[in-house]
Structure 1
Amino acid sequence: MTEVEIEYCVPCGFRDRALDVQQAILTGLETELDSVSLVMGDHGIFQVRADGNVVYDKEENGLDVDDIVREIRAQ
Structure 2
Amino acid sequence: MTTHTFALTTEYIELDKLLKLLSIASSGGAAKAMIADGLVTVDGEVELRKTRKLRAGSTVRVAGETIEVTGGAR
* TM-score, with structure 1 as normaliser: 0.31
* TM-score, with structure 2 as normaliser: 0.31
Higher helix content, 1 or 2: 1
